[in-house]
Amino acid sequence: MTFDGDGTRVVHAGLPDPVPGAPFLPGPVFAAPYHLDPVAGQVVNGYGRPDNPTRRALEAAIGELEGGRTLAFASGQAAITATLLATVRAGDTVALPSDGYYAVRAFAAGALRDLGVNTVLVPTAGPYPSFEGMRLVLLETPANPGLDVCDIRALSAAAHAAGALVAVDNTTPTPLGQRPLELGADLVVASGTKALTGHSDVLLGYLATNDEDLLARLTAWRAQTGGIPGAFDSWLAHRSLATLDLRLARQSANAAVVAELLAGRPDVRHVRFPGLPADPSYPVAAAQMRRIPGIIGFDLGSAERVGRFLSASELVFAATSFGGLHTTADRRAQWGDDTAPGFVRLSCGIEDAADLVADLTAALDAA
């Protein structure tokens, strides 16, 4: 039988067939070299950089969820920069989101520009330029931190008609929220550091594709440049994946309640949550996404007021990153994001909604 419930899929993703006496998820295999067959040489595993069984199991699991062959990397940035460097050449042009993850823009303005690669920055909500003459279009939807969304299917069709490749940063939704390969993208790139693993204890990245040529190029790229995750991090990530459906369900439900609370307060401005029917992202998100991430954007007017809000809250941790079990909030302007000084990205955790509402209400009142 094929089981397609999300909860079932994440619990079983990438697990080996049952073997009596063996664990459900085998523990991490720590090895740089492995024993070789003295005569035949490499029969199974040879060396840890190209090849590790713990990492392979994690890649199989993520691959089942994304619907594509998957390579794991040491971080999201390692996966994204690998994708850019392995696909573009001097003289090429890439389109990147102007409102997406800031370190990708910084990489384009530094290393990519030095290599002779041109970058066109495009807001996720559009308008999009002609993709004629572009090598690669990177989309990020919902964009972090502004939460605008774009139509992956329509933009992939337009990019392909112009001969460009399309990669989608799927960090914020995770493969349970959105499957870009099914919507026409050539590649998924993502950070597994956020909701995918969700316990704020692992840095991880991955890419997924069904294009054999791209996969071969990127597999060679990773083996040659070496940005792999270690066995323990790979195992932690695989173990955490089993609760992804439960975690996202609670985060998303909490965010829906909190977004209503924030939208109803006169002292909170510009509330963004793609699950609110009044949100500009709502129509495309409702059509394209399988669930809405637990992330909310809003503006408290000044850095000082954000500071008072975070000091007064007992449940919201001041922290960058997002998608974890604990509710966290980040004033993005402190990192150089092009956001208002009082803009907050709130990531709802898996606490009880009533407690979050009580705590946020008291903290906003105090601020």
150 in Cβ contact with 125 (< 8 Å): yes
Closer to ligand PLP by CB, 80 or 207: give it.
80
C-alpha 293/C-alpha 170 separation (Å) is 11
C-alpha 203/C-alpha 254 separation (Å) is 25
CB atoms within 10 A of CB 270: 14
Q: In angstroms, give the least distance from the CB of 73 to ligand PLP.
A: 8
Q: In angstroms, give the least distance from the CB of 265 to ligand PLP.
A: 27
Q: In angstroms, give the least distance from the CB of 57 to ligand PLP.
A: 20
Closer to ligand PLP by CB, 73 or 128: give it.
73
Helix pair angle (212-225, 76-87), 10° resolution: 120
What is the residue type of 338? D
136 — alpha (psi -120 to 50), left (phi > 0) or beta? beta
Closer to ligand PLP by CB, 146 or 275: give it.
146
Residue whose beta carbon is closest to ligand PLP: 76
Token pair 């290393």 in the structure block, residue:
111
C-alpha 294/C-alpha 104 separation (Å) is 23
Q: In angstroms, give the least distance from the CB of 101 to ligand PLP.
A: 4
Closer to ligand PLP by CB, 101 or 273: give it.
101
Tokens in use for 322?
Answer: 């997002």
Closer to ligand PLP by CB, 101 or 309: give it.
101
327 in Cβ contact with 356 (< 8 Å): yes
Write out the residues near ligand PLP by the rule CB under 6 A: 75-77, 80, 101, 140, 144, 169, 171-172, 191, 193-194, 203, 205
What is the residue type of 93? T
Q: In angstroms, give the least distance from the CB of 208 to ligand PLP.
A: 14
Q: In angstroms, give the least distance from the CB of 145 to ligand PLP.
A: 8
Closer to ligand PLP by CB, 209 or 268: give it.
209
